[in-house]
Structure 1
């Protein structure tokens, strides 16, 4: 990825020199299958006459560059993804005509051909630095401007942009079209946008289908709504439901923010081969097609879709109306959107227990991220674009949202949102930094937030809370203290508002019988309210999940959790307890085999879909990576037997039944269990209420392939019956799961060594590559992975390189050799790009953690 970086220092210098007024961008999307035309006119001013700067562009070729009516030689001024601008005047007009490349990586202008009907679909994805792949642009968030798009494309297409779609004007016939010769074409001329950052501009183009609606917002304006997807998926698009959630979000946010929706319309398009969950382009949100459900789906995923819909809507205020000045304040976008979307989901939709989901899923992600060697403050130090592209992580999203939840409790919800409203009013269409928001919150709440900000936003690491106490002869607390500790590298002791829950087993069920809410601010805090109280069966130091901290159980509480967790009726309490058990397992303090047994003993009582999904994923990780290898096969058989038994006992057609049977198929390895999977796949064995639809059939087939009970002929037959985008991704996963050296080598060759494979095929095949019952199949890649790493980084786009590193690092191997190879690469590549080193530091850390967990598990099992 040479020549495409931008440093913060360069961005600061450019922002001090330039003010950008407008862009006039003409895109010709009817030039064929590989390239499109881009014609950009930029109007901008310079603070110093005669000064120099640059503008960004990643192009296949540049046909002309004209600055202030002077033609410049493209071969001279266009180098290293930049157009050099010299002898600037007070007011400047730049025009650049270029030829751009479509991508299959989910960056820039992504092009997809639907295998169902051959139709072409395009969409743009610009965050962080990829609008320059489509037009010439000052690519940084604080050089806001107005953008006018004119698009020429096949006449039967829908064109969606940031502004309402205009009526098309006939433009004749294109010999090339966009893959179809002699295509009638048209031109759409959009109105200029409001002042905005370049990374949230968007063009979505193709024969998308869907539904239009509208709403009246809080200031009485009519806001057009649209929900669209590919034509071949339209039958599965529940557009009315998406519109309903959108309406609920509009009402909630406009009320809480006390600031009306600021833009002209709101379209949502579900697009193919999308790298992320969604993207907050102003008025033109793009979502992953994984949220168009063509079969039965976990309630957890349905809930996540609602949170995502509301997350992107929240971004219209946080990020789009008011944008961070530089990417170190990315949290001003993502943490706020994540916190407010969970809040809206819990209070404005049917998913009233979304804070349980947040505790079980999002915070698990955050705790893991904050214990990696790459951890960073919520307000991160971002030196260049590669830094920020690797910073869309569990700290920026989940920890940031958890910290905001704590901040709301600290300043009060009313004062928090009063401050937010004033923040929007004062900084609308502008750029901000951390102090801008804190100033408004201090004014409305009357609190000094400087110390709080330093502790929670400007330092890294997670604290651990544990109880230290003495008991009298009657079993009552003679003394009670909460001990707060921190990692030696990140020694900050923070202020916490916590609830301490006392849980007892009552008539065979775990119930909260008392609670104390208090502040923890020191290394040791005495809790006088508990002195004299009877020791409960289980003491939960972060009851109600009020703070962001690791928690440890005392021995009695741990034993109670192992035996009675599944009987606790409070879903949030269960989620917090599950989280404590998992974190203790990851740290090697609870043997992984004990965690596995605890899950099997209690999972039947877990009715909250997201928690169930999270815990089943943790069960699989513990079983396949953290348990002692010498005991893994026997334990895997026990897990498979129990999961099948639980699936058979679950309510017919329930979410639990669906998740449990999929979890069984994931671990099925013996001939007996694979035969059961085959019977489920064929219909010979049926579970009441369980429909084996296309997606579940693929899950069963991949299980059979990974176990050596099916192969290429079965995969080909399934793909012939389901030659869709989803089917091709499932087939790629299945082929990469073939449990032979040749099967793994083929996946490696086709995805790691080849540069032609689309992004989601890389991701799917990587999941299959790591799907092994015998980790030794991946042994050759302990060395091969690191051999290819530098070439991969140099030759592939950031998104694809990151995907391959994440998907093809052979973590299931998790042995000493893999750990040594990772350590050796890090030692030998101290000058490698920071983002690349970060990914390998994280992979090495995961491997070392797995080894420690295996050793801890083996020590107990062999003692």
Structure 2
């Protein structure tokens, strides 16, 4: 499929104005193809040579203003058009393929009850796999949809159902939206409906998951989000309904289709979720609803302004949930890590050449870095001025497209600060600034150093004068918090307290480096700090120090053991995951790793006594066990599979054990767990079979991800070493964006590889024929591997564990 180049999109947008798509889908032809008929009413502003996009099995007919055109002119996914200025109508009939990759119109048959479901994924340029269109974000139009469905099916779409005539469904005509936001789902969905604020709301999942759909919680949070945004935004909710569909095989966390959001199905919890998982779902619900304004009502003109969608939705969703602790330990590190990769780019890149390259920018820069920069901007301007500018922007560009310049123009009206200079410094540059505190030689005074001017709060913690703890430990209490600009403090020396923590409210985008004395105190007494968000910031600092080779991985494990009891569940789960999956698996080898797993198992056992930490502690204990395993509830599929996976890794389970567990959990999730377990068996034949599934079976991205996660185990480095070079050869032939990203993110040999793989991968990335998404994903993994190799080298030389760090 030919990707749309930016200059082509700009020329077409200048020449055309699209009024209406009338789309009819026929889903009664079986499970391989469906019928697609489209009428497009539009205008050419001038005489123009342009093209229409469609990616069919067969193009049956195409008529322009009633005149049939030669269908053999279709070249790939483009049909050439010669248009005189004036109004026009295109009528297209085609047979389209159902997808099994989560792109286009995806079809899924449930192994539990043999029921079939379909849903669209029109993003990024996949609308043309469903119907004929001018597939770019700034050619918005109204959509009028009807569909013929099999008996017992129901249809869902961007608008409310307007007709139901036997097996034909029709839906209300939408306001003007981009083709990539077209949404439709059909099947025998289990549905729960409600009304709120005069609007219909719905929740939908496969029938075999009906008992797990916690509609009460989901509706309660959804309504809270709706009410919160109604207070925040001047523009009312812009669509006629709000459905949330939990879809199988969905490749992303969620998709913000107007009026019909699609979520990854794992957000319907089959087993008891952790507090972190609950809050992550709440954030995702809020994020997608924020898109109804940022992305759907007002849409970026081209993919270089992707941040106008994602950064805003990220920032607004965390603000609405008032969950800056989660933001601190999860979102900010995603941004700062991504910004240190060789593939980093500005939040607003200078150019996105085509739609194929646009997909790679859905990353920690466009989401997390952009969101953190917006939090800094809101802090600098003040919330009143910031949201006044935001609301002016939404009203001025409603149901249209906008750019960064449009947004800055709206902010200009409500502040006297130079927002363009700010955007140039923060949104158009790459790299992570470091805010450092440096003590004088006498250690009596300190100064703050940074490249950018950050507006932030600096915390001063002192031992509590009133505390008489029975355990002999004195809390470190917040004596004061100074709201400052870092440039105002540069070069000045200040008498600060024993523990000085810049940005303790997580208000800016930077790596934070307290002075050496503060770090040493925090290392010993982090759990004594009496402010939860400040502790989260400190945990993030130590995480970054380990990653940068400035703090011992073994000492990080020791800190987890010393300071996690009693910690916020979100922070504790994040630290446990980082300690197990990154520090132990990537940064430690041999006996050091074994000791780390033993230490994590020990601290996990101690955390089982805390009901708020029980589930993440139990999961970590299972993942660190080497002989005996904790007992788990028989009805908890997740925990039972975790135990079996760990036993498989250690060679303590056989294929028949996997078969038995799969029979007990005959579900989509069970199939994926079973594939992961089979790939984890320390047996050459099992590895070869898993390899075939990854590269030569036509498996879905979900199944490939499961196999990739099971395949590369640190305990099996010698067994899988021969597969590393084969991985590069096999991955070179991958087709499709979804599979490319899955292989890079979920199946790269990061856990087992060393310096030789670094060298081979660097040379491999120089190949000119690689899928752009594959190249980007593997490039990022190479950065992680290089960092891991460097940290291991520093650890083997005996990294200083004093807690002192030098800003980088």
TM-score range, shorter-chain basis? Answer: over 0.9
Q: Partner residue of 2:62?
A: 65
Deviation at 1:834, TM superposition (A): 4.2
Secondary structure of 1:516's counterpart equals strand
Find out whether 1:805 has 2:744 as its counterpart: yes
> Which whole-Å CA distance do the structure 2 matches of 1:643 and 1:741 have between them?
34
Find out whether 1:662 has 2:607 as its counterpart: no
Find out whether 1:137 has 2:133 as its counterpart: yes
Structure 2 residue runs of 5 or longer lacking an equivalent are 465-472, 802-808
> Which whole-Å CA distance do the structure 1 matches of 2:381 and 2:692 have between them?
55
Q: Partner residue of 1:526?
A: 491
Q: Partner residue of 1:736?
A: 679
Deviation at 1:510, TM superposition (A): 3.0
Secondary structure of 2:696's counterpart equals coil
Taking structure 2 as the reference length, the TM-score comes to: 0.95
Contact between 1:366 and 1:399, CA under 8 Å: does it hold in 2? Answer: yes
Q: Partner residue of 1:268?
A: 244
Change (3 A) 1:626 1:209: closer
Deviation at 1:344, TM superposition (A): 1.1
Structure 1 residue runs of 5 or longer lacking an equivalent are 171-185, 217-221, 347-353, 485-492, 682-689
Secondary structure of 1:773's counterpart equals helix
Deviation at 1:136, TM superposition (A): 0.6
> Which whole-Å CA distance do the structure 2 matches of 1:514 and 1:164 have between them?
53
> Which whole-Å CA distance do the structure 1 matches of 2:523 and 2:116 have between them?
53
Contact between 2:23 and 2:36, CA under 8 Å: does it hold in 1? Answer: yes
Change (3 A) 1:87 1:438: closer
Q: Partner residue of 2:144?
A: 148
For residue 852 of structure 1, the aligned residue among 790, 794, 798 is 790
Q: Deviations over 1:23-47 (max 9, x none)?
A: 1111001100111111111111112
Contact between 2:106 and 2:119, CA under 8 Å: does it hold in 1? Answer: yes
Q: Partner residue of 2:42?
A: 44
For residue 791 of structure 1, the aligned residue among 733, 757, 761 is 733
Q: Partner residue of 2:513?
A: 552
Secondary structure of 1:98's counterpart equals strand
Contact between 1:643 and 1:661, CA under 8 Å: does it hold in 2? Answer: no
Contact between 2:294 and 2:309, CA under 8 Å: does it hold in 1? Answer: yes
Change (3 A) 1:409 1:471: same
> Which whole-Å CA distance do the structure 1 matches of 2:404 and 2:437 have between them?
35
> Which whole-Å CA distance do the structure 2 matches of 1:207 and 1:637 have between them?
46
Q: Deviations over 1:554-600 (max 9, x none)?
A: 32222222221123232211110011101111111112222222222
Q: Partner residue of 2:554?
A: 593
Indicate the larger mover: 130-139 or 412-421: 412-421
Q: Partner residue of 2:661?
A: 718
Contact between 1:102 and 1:108, CA under 8 Å: does it hold in 2? Answer: yes
Find out whether 1:242 has 2:195 as its counterpart: no
Contact between 1:647 and 1:658, CA under 8 Å: does it hold in 2? Answer: no
Q: Where do residues 262-661 of structure 1 align in structure 2 (5 Å cutoff)?
A: 262-346=238-322, 354-380=323-349, 381-470=351-440, 472=442, 476-477=444-445, 480-484=446-450, 493-506=451-464, 507-521=473-487, 525-527=490-492, 530-531=494-495, 533=496, 535-536=497-498, 538-606=499-567, 608-648=568-608, 650-651=609-610, 654-661=611-618
> Which whole-Å CA distance do the structure 2 matches of 1:114 and 1:521 have between them?
59
> Which whole-Å CA distance do the structure 1 matches of 2:423 and 2:8 have between them?
27
Deviation at 1:512, TM superposition (A): 2.3
Q: Deviations over 1:411-448 (max 9, x none)?
A: 11111111122212111111000011111111112322
Contact between 1:624 and 1:812, CA under 8 Å: does it hold in 2? Answer: no
**Cα root mean square deviation, aligned:** 1.9
For residue 763 of structure 2, the aligned residue among 821, 824, 831 is 824
Q: Partner residue of 1:92?
A: 88
Change (3 A) 1:692 1:594: farther
Contact between 1:412 and 1:445, CA under 8 Å: does it hold in 2? Answer: no
Change (3 A) 1:622 1:593: farther
> Which whole-Å CA distance do the structure 1 matches of 2:528 and 2:791 have between them?
28
> Which whole-Å CA distance do the structure 2 matches of 1:622 and 1:858 have between them?
17
Secondary structure of 2:125's counterpart equals coil
Q: Partner residue of 1:490?
A: none
> Which whole-Å CA distance do the structure 2 matches of 1:627 and 1:390 have between them?
27
> Which whole-Å CA distance do the structure 2 matches of 1:164 and 1:831 have between them?
45
Indicate the larger mover: 407-416 or 134-143: 407-416
> Which whole-Å CA distance do the structure 2 matches of 1:510 and 1:572 have between them?
14
Change (3 A) 1:497 1:33: same
Q: Deviations over 1:613-660 (max 9, x none)?
A: 211121023443443424334324432441343244x23xx2311111
> Which whole-Å CA distance do the structure 2 matches of 1:553 and 1:837 have between them?
36
> Which whole-Å CA distance do the structure 2 matches of 1:333 and 1:728 have between them?
35
Q: Partner residue of 1:78?
A: 74
Secondary structure of 1:809's counterpart equals coil
The size of the alignment, in residue pairs, is 792
Contact between 2:308 and 2:404, CA under 8 Å: does it hold in 1? Answer: yes
> Which whole-Å CA distance do the structure 2 matches of 1:393 and 1:540 have between them?
29
Secondary structure of 2:448's counterpart equals strand
> Which whole-Å CA distance do the structure 2 matches of 1:692 and 1:612 have between them?
25
Q: Deviations over 1:682-719 (max 9, x none)?
A: xxxxxxxx776122111111111111111211111111
Deviation at 1:334, TM superposition (A): 0.8
Secondary structure of 1:226's counterpart equals strand
Contact between 1:782 and 1:817, CA under 8 Å: does it hold in 2? Answer: no
Secondary structure of 1:460's counterpart equals coil
Contact between 1:280 and 1:315, CA under 8 Å: does it hold in 2? Answer: yes
> Which whole-Å CA distance do the structure 2 matches of 1:93 and 1:844 have between them?
50
Change (3 A) 1:421 1:334: same
Change (3 A) 1:294 1:268: same
For residue 55 of structure 1, the aligned residue among 34, 37, 52 is 52
